[in-house]
Structure 1
C-alpha cells in the first residue's frame, strides 16, 4: 500500500517547510566537465519538501532552489524536478513519484567509508531506515526512503571489488 504524502507549499494541504538560507545559483559548469561527478534525478510530489529532506537529512548542499532544484551531494548532484510531462524530448513519458513505495524501479545508491556512522547521523536528522546496516560479506548496506518513497541505499563495499578481480581502495 502506498504511503500518504504530505502536501506541497502550493497545495491547500501544505505542511510548512523551513526555507533554505542558501541562495539560488546556476548549475556549476565544473560539474559538467568533471568525469567523477554524476547526477541522480527524482520527480517528487513536492519539490520544496523533497529538497529540504535531502538537505536536512542527507546533508546535501542546495545549489539551486527549484525548476529544477539541484543539490550537491559529495562529488555528485541530485536533481529534483516537478512531476509531469510528457515533454518534447521524452514523448509519452510522465515523471512521477513512485506510486507504490514497496516496488523498486530505481534507487539512489550512496557509498560511504563508514556505513554505521552515516546511518546514525542520518537517523539523528530524521531519516527512517528499513533496518540497521546489514553485513552481506562483500558489502554492508541499509536502506531508507525519502518522503515520496524513493529508496536510498547506504552502503560500503567490503570485498565486492576484490571479488570482481579489481584492487580495492580505502
Structure 2
C-alpha cells in the first residue's frame, strides 16, 4: 500500500489557466471547434471547461490580488514566442487536421512529417499554441 501522508496532491486535479481577451469568442472556439464541455461559468470573466480529461480555466486579464501580489494575468503578447503549448496525440493527423479546418481552426501550416511523427500547429483566438501529432509506426 502506498503512503499518501506526504502527497500534497492526493485526490487533486490539475487545471490549466489560459488568459483570453474575448471570453465569448474563446468560449465559441473551445466548445465548437475543439469540442470542450462547459463545466461552470463565473460572471463572464472566467469559464471552466472539461477537455480531453483535463480542466481548462479561461480567464480575462487581471491585475495583482492579495494572494498573488505583483502578478498580472495577460494574454500572449507575441504569438510567435511561446512559453506554453498543448500537444494532442491523434490517431490520424491528416484526418484530424481536416476536421479541425472544417470547424474553423486556422493552422500555421498543413501537417508535416518530422522523423517518426506527423504534426501541425494551430492557435486559439489569443494565440495559445496547440499541436496535433500522430506517431508514425
Query: Would the TM-score normalized by the shorter structure come out above 0.5?
Result: yes
Q: Quick check: 1:143 aligned with 2:121?
A: yes
Q: TM-score, normalised by structure 2?
A: 0.80
Matched, 1:153 2:131: yes
RMSD: 2.1
**Structure 2 residues not aligned, in runs of 5+:** 1-9
Partner of 1:45: 21
- The question of whether the paired residues in 2 share the 8 Å contact of 1:107 and 1:151 is answered with yes
Secondary structure in 1 matching 2:100: helix
The two structures have a TM-score, normalised by structure 1, of: 0.66
Distance 1:158 1:38 in 2: 29
What SS is found at the alignment partner of 1:94? coil
1:75 and 1:131, CA in 2 relative to 1: closer, same or farther beyond 3 A?
same
Q: CA deviation at 1:38?
A: 4.3
Consecutive unaligned residues in structure 1, runs of 5 or more: 1-31, 160-170
Q: Which residue of 2 aligns with 1:127?
A: 105
- Evaluate the alpha carbon distance shift between residue 117 and residue 76 of structure 1 in structure 2; reply closer, same or farther with a 3 A threshold: same
Q: Secondary structure at the match of 1:119?
A: helix
Aligned residues: 126
Which of residues 49, 64, 73 is equivalent to 1:95? 73
The partner residue of 2:85 within 107, 117, 130 is 107
Residues 68-121 of structure 1, C-alpha deviation per residue, up to 9 Å, x if partnerless?
311111211221012112223322111111111121121122222222222111
Task: Compare 65-74 and 42-51 and name the one that shifted more.
Answer: 65-74
- Give the ranges of 4+ consecutive aligned residues of structure 1 lying more than 3 Å apart after TM superposition: none
